[in-house]
Amino acid sequence: MTTQSNTPAGWYPDPRGAAQLLRWWDGAQWTDHTNAAPQGAQTATAAPPVAPPADPAKVQRQVQQQAGVAPTAQGGGSLFSEPVLVVNQKAKLIELTNEYSVMDQSGNQLGSVVQVGQSTLKKVARFVASVDQFMTHKLEIRDAHGTPQLLMTRPRKFMKSRVVVERPDGQVVGEIVQQNVFGKINFAMNVNGVQVGAIKAENWRAWNFSIVDHTDTEVARITKTWEGLAKTMFTTADNYVLQIHFQLPDPLLSLVVATALTVDTALKQDARGLG
């Protein structure tokens, strides 16, 4: 999909956040062509164009028909004020960098999730072997303007995942910790060592999750949406709908949003047999 833009074709700072990397804008859309930024080199200075909008009808179909979420009133227009978040991973034949777009139930772009801090060597290792679980992964949640809102770090794991959620200034919000390996996978949401909620898979394949607070009351739900056999088999795209039942207090709200945007990395990234 292309979009109208007055920004001319050229090399611009990578909108995905890669340091010292330029990405080619062809006048209508970002391409896959990147280049290292030579020190002191002059590059185009126009503001990078925004991502093209999603097809509202497709997003609404994903929410209402695939996820079974009834239309609800719009929220405040941000990642932390909308009752429904639509999380769609960019489809790639081979997954070397995790990238997600985050929209509201009408298809309006609210933000993105981008994997950061990957070296070329790490990408090569991910290409030639299934070693994701032995690597540390960092994901940055950004708002619609590209400003970081949360940083998630999943340290290398052996059997169980742990995701540390931080503010952009490094303040720790809490942790999402996998509780078990077999059966229906459950995660605890902890703040300062105290459990404030949990994420419970509703079947052993970990397709859908119920999110509860410390009283075991469901406060939100994650539903994986089916994209068709061909796409599911031959690409790495994972799409989800997060429905938050009522306005939640922080830090529980931040942990719920972080959970919905990182559940694929926390669980399925190295266990495709589960998802």
Instruction: Tell me the pLDDT tens digit for each residue of 76-134.
Output: 999 999 999 998 876 443 343 557 889 999 988 898 888 887 544 443 333 333 434 44
Do residues 70 and 46 both lie within one domain?
Answer: no
Do residues 80 and 135 both lie within one domain?
Answer: yes
pLDDT at residue number 189: 96
Domain that holds residue 23: 1-52
CATH number at residue 224: 2.40.160.200
Do residues 45 and 70 both lie within one domain?
Answer: no
Number of compact structural domains in the chain: 2
User: Which among 19, 36, 52 is the end of a domain?
Assistant: 52
Do residues 249 and 121 both lie within one domain?
Answer: yes
Do residues 139 and 48 both lie within one domain?
Answer: no
Do residues 7 and 131 both lie within one domain?
Answer: no
Q: Give per-residue pLDDT as tens, 168-223.
A: 999 999 999 989 878 888 999 999 999 999 999 887 665 789 999 999 999 999 99
Do residues 162 and 205 both lie within one domain?
Answer: yes
Nearest to 2 by CA among 73, 45, 48, 53: 53
Q: Provide Rg for the chain, Cα atoms.
A: 19
pLDDT band at 232 (very low <50, low <70, confident <90, very high): very low
Phi, psi of 233 (to 5 degrees): -80, -35
Provide the whole-model pTM. Answer: 0.69
Asked, for residue 275, whether it belongs to a domain, the answer is: no
Do residues 110 and 204 both lie within one domain?
Answer: yes
Q: Spell out the residues 6+ positions from residue 57 whose beta carbon is closer than 8 angstroms to its own.
A: none
Mean pLDDT, the chain, whole residue set: 74
Question: Mean pLDDT throughout 30-49?
Answer: 57
Nearest to 2 by CA among 39, 40, 30: 30
Do residues 41 and 66 both lie within one domain?
Answer: no
Do residues 200 and 102 both lie within one domain?
Answer: yes
